[in-house]
Amino acid sequence: MNALNRYVDPIYCILRLIIGLMFACHGGQKILGFPPGGHGAPTDALGWVGAIIELAGGFLIAFGLLTRVAAFISSGEMAVAYFMVHAAGKALDHPPATTEQFFPLLNKGELAVLYCFIFLFIFFYGPGRYALDTLIFQRPPSTAATV
């Protein structure tokens, strides 16, 4: 498996880029109406804050600029989205039974949970070698602990 270690930095960069751009698409749908589809513009202040976090945080994570801050805020936003929307039964046309509301597979919240934990990982791992943070601040990238 040591032969695969040389690919860690490029693969992590690709992961951060794809996850960040996918997250930014959610905010783009709400704020800009692009890509088409989705739920439309938010109707309340909390929805607008979430949409701005999704758009700006997604781009910051994708390009590795202020990565830890953006990942921490985005992870928190996804946790709030899960508990306020999905676990509360507001994401479905009709709320499920009380015992089904908590489970992500049943309340359609698995994407929020995945984003939450991927962003939490990015927060702890840092921007990586191929990021604007590393380029601008000339810091050596954090590395995973070796055993």
3-state secondary structure of 64: coil
Considering the entire predicted model, what is its pTM? 0.86
Residue 21, classified by CB atoms within 10 Å of its CB into exposed (0-12), middle (13-18) or buried (19+), is middle
pLDDT in tens, 35-91: 888 778 888 999 999 999 999 999 999 999 999 999 999 999 999 999 998 888 776
Angle (CA) 57-46-92 rounded to 5° is 95
